[in-house]
Chains A and B, each alone.
Chain A
Amino acid sequence: MLGALSVGVLALIGLMAFTVIDNAWPSFSANGLSWFGSGGDVVTQFRAMQSGTPLPGHSLLYFRAWPLISGTLVTTVLAVAIAIVVSTLAAIFLTEFAPAPMRRVLEPVVRLLAGVPSVVYGLIGILALVPWINEHLISNARKHSVQYVVQLNGQDLMTATLILTVMILPIMIAITTNALASVPGSWREGSAALGVNRWRTIWRVSVRTARPAIVAGAVLATARALGEAIMLSMVSGGLPFAANPLDGLTFLFEPVQPLAATIVKEFAGQQGGAVPHTIYAISAVLLVSALLLSFASWAAKQPLKRYGIGA
Chain B
Amino acid sequence: MEPLMPPPVRRIALDDQPNLAPPRAAPNGSPAAASPPTHVRSAGALAPQVRERMSIESVWLAYGENWVVRDVSLPVRQGEVLALIGASGSGKTTLLRSLNRLTEITAGAARSGRITLDGTDIHELEVNDLRRRVSMVFQQPNPFPMSIFDNVAYALAEQRPKRAVRRRRRTAELEHAVADALRRAGLLDELGGDLERPALKLSGGQQQRLCIARALAAEPEVLLLDEPCSALDPISTATIEELIVGLRETVAIVIVTHNLQQAFRVADHVAFMHLGELVEYGPREQVFERPARQRTRDYVSGAFG
A interface with B by C-beta (< 8 Å): 184, 186-187, 189-197, 200, 204-205, 208-209, 306-309
CB pair A204 B136 closer than 8 Å: no
CB pair B155 A308 closer than 8 Å: no
CB pair B155 A194 closer than 8 Å: yes
Q: Which residues of B contact A189 (CB under 8 A)?
A: 102, 105, 138, 142
**In whole angstroms, what is the CA distance A308 to B150 when docked?**
14
**In whole angstroms, what is the CA distance A48 to B128 when docked?**
71
CB pair B102 A192 closer than 8 Å: yes
Binds A, one of B38-46, B70-78, B211-219: B211-219
Q: Is the interface of B mostly helix, strand, loop or mixed?
A: helix
CB pair A307 B146 closer than 8 Å: yes
Q: How large is the interface on B (under 10, 10 to 19, 20 to 34, 35 or more residues)?
A: 20 to 34
**In whole angstroms, what is the CA distance A172 to B200 when docked?**
28
CB pair A205 B142 closer than 8 Å: no
CB pair A306 B198 closer than 8 Å: yes
Q: Which residues of B contact A209 (CB under 8 A)?
A: 145
CB pair A187 B198 closer than 8 Å: no
CB pair A308 B145 closer than 8 Å: yes
**In whole angstroms, what is the CA distance A21 to B104 when docked?**
62
Residue in A205, A208, A306, A307 whose Cβ sees the most chain B Cβ within 10 Å: A307
User: Which of A186, A193, A195, A308 contacts B140, CB < 8 Å?
Assistant: A186
**In whole angstroms, what is the CA distance A289 to B106 when docked?**
48
Closest to A194 in B: B155
**In whole angstroms, what is the CA distance A309 to B146 when docked?**
9
If A187-B142, A191-B144 touch, whether A308 touches B131 (CB-CB below 8 Å) is no
If A187-B144, A191-B144, A309-B145 touch, whether A196 touches B198 (CB-CB below 8 Å) is no
Q: Which residues of B contact A187 (CB under 8 A)?
A: 142, 144-145
CB distance from A194 to the nearest CB of B (A): 4
Additional 13 contacts, C-beta under 8 A, given A189-B102, A194-B218, A205-B144: A186-B138, A186-B140, A193-B100, A193-B215, A195-B129, A195-B131, A195-B132, A195-B133, A195-B158, A196-B128, A208-B146, A209-B145, A307-B200
CB pair A204 B142 closer than 8 Å: no
Q: Which residues of A contact B136 (CB under 8 A)?
A: 193
If A306-B198, A308-B145 touch, whether A192 touches B140 (CB-CB below 8 Å) is no
CB pair B154 A196 closer than 8 Å: yes
CB pair A308 B200 closer than 8 Å: yes
CB pair B105 A197 closer than 8 Å: no
B236 is an interface residue with CB less than 8 A from chain A: no
- Using an 8 Å CB-CB cutoff, how does the interface string of B129-170 with A read, 1 for contact, 0 for none? 111110110101010111100000011001000000000000
**In whole angstroms, what is the CA distance A191 to B138 when docked?**
11
**In whole angstroms, what is the CA distance A205 to B215 when docked?**
16
Across the A-B interface, give the 7 residue pairs with the lowest CB-CB distance, nearest first: A195-B131, A195-B132, A308-B200, A186-B142, A193-B136, A194-B155, A195-B128
If A187-B142, A307-B146 touch, whether A193 touches B131 (CB-CB below 8 Å) is yes
CB pair A307 B128 closer than 8 Å: no
CB pair A194 B130 closer than 8 Å: no
Closest to A184 in B: B142
CB distance from A204 to the nearest CB of B (A): 7
CB pair B211 A195 closer than 8 Å: no
Q: Which residues of A contact B129 (CB under 8 A)?
A: 195
CB distance from A170 to the nearest CB of B (A): 28
Interface residues of B in 94-111 (CB under 8 A from A): 100, 102, 105
CB distance from B109 to the nearest CB of A (A): 14
**In whole angstroms, what is the CA distance A185 to B133 when docked?**
22
User: Which of A193, A197, A208 contacts B138, CB < 8 Å?
Assistant: A193
**In whole angstroms, what is the CA distance A191 to B151 when docked?**
10
CB pair B128 A193 closer than 8 Å: no
Q: Which residues of B contact A200 (CB under 8 A)?
A: 158
CB distance from A153 to the nearest CB of B (A): 47
If A189-B105, A307-B198 touch, whether A196 touches B158 (CB-CB below 8 Å) is yes
